[in-house]
Structure 1
Amino acid sequence: MRIEGLSTILLRGAFAALPKVVPSFPMNEDGPRAMPQPPVSGPGAPPMPSVQMLVALAAGDPGIERRRKQAVDAERGLDALDRLHREVLAGTPSVARLQEIAEWSQGFTNPDDPVLKDILSEIDLRVRVELAKFDVEA
């Protein structure tokens, strides 16, 4: 990757950390002299991670999957609130919409992640306020 349009000072600062990470990276006062050679592959070389391997590792992490499901659940609650808002603006909301929102609120669980917990708690509070307007218990 080549980054164009950076001043010499920015380039020096950006490449100052490279020799610490890659000791064989040749430098001169204007920046790098040449691109480093990729590691030699062969029977004794460690395997290079592939995209499939990285995806498998990410998919295998239960924390990542749990956060993804919680984000999908938050989005589902927001979408239901948005549909309810549109129905209220158009007239009277449908019973099915109110039931959908009540079911979302009943299935609500607090996540371990404090940021997601705050967001989901705010969505749940808003859902309960909207349900209270129509005398529906969640």
Structure 2
Amino acid sequence: MRIYGPNGTHPGAPAATARRNTSTAFALPDTAATPETRAASAPRAAGNIDALLALQGVEDPLERRKRSVARGRGALDVLDDLKIGLLSGNFDASTVTRLRDAAAGLKSTSGDPGLDAVLSEIELRVEVELAKAGRF
């Protein structure tokens, strides 16, 4: 089945006429004017694995700040749990473990001096509570 129309094939359509030079003499093209050709080469890799890991290690300051705020809130939640447990007389050893984990998370900096100051105060309070819990 053949389709004839604007997008179909046309039988006997004339071939595109080639542009011909008016001179009848044979001449070689100018070799200085032709661009330099290079051999095709395989695509180069982005780099070794160390470079890729370094690129992944670059983090957004806003994301780092959000993680620091979340760690600070988590530490405050554990301190509240400890306070409630002590006031109710239900001191739990798992709370001390959670306090140690929270203290380890507060060591990193956020890049914001104000937030880092607040986090260091929270860390100090957690360390004081851990020292108190060590006496029991």
Q: CA RMSD in A?
A: 1.6
Q: TM-score, normalised by structure 2?
A: 0.52
Distance 2:104 2:60 in 1: 24
TM-superposed deviation, 1:103: 1.2
- Which of the pair has the greater relative contact order for Cα pairs under 8 Å at 6+ separation? 2
Q: 1:130 matched to which residue of 2? A: 129
Alignment of 1:36-115 (within 5 A): 62-111=60-109, 112-115=111-114
1:12-67 superposed Cα distances (whole Å, 9 cap, x missing partner): xxxxxxxxxxxxxxxxxxxxxxxxxxxxxxxxxxxxxxxxxxxxxxxxx8111111
Distance 2:66 2:104 in 1: 20
Q: Which has the larger radius of gyration?
A: 2
> Where is the helix percentage greater, Structure 1 or Structure 2?
1
Distance 2:105 2:72 in 1: 11
Q: 1:116 matched to which residue of 2? A: 115
> Could you tell me the percent identity over the aligned residues?
34
Q: What stretches of structure 1 of length at least 5 have no aligned partner?
A: 1-60
TM-superposed deviation, 1:72: 0.6
* Structure 1 moving runs of 4+ over 3 Å: none
Distance 2:65 2:89 in 1: 36
Distance 2:107 2:100 in 1: 14
Counterpart residue identity of residue 127, structure 2: R
TM-superposed deviation, 1:108: 2.2
Q: What stretches of structure 2 of length at least 5 have no aligned partner?
A: 1-58
Q: TM-score, normalised by structure 1?
A: 0.51
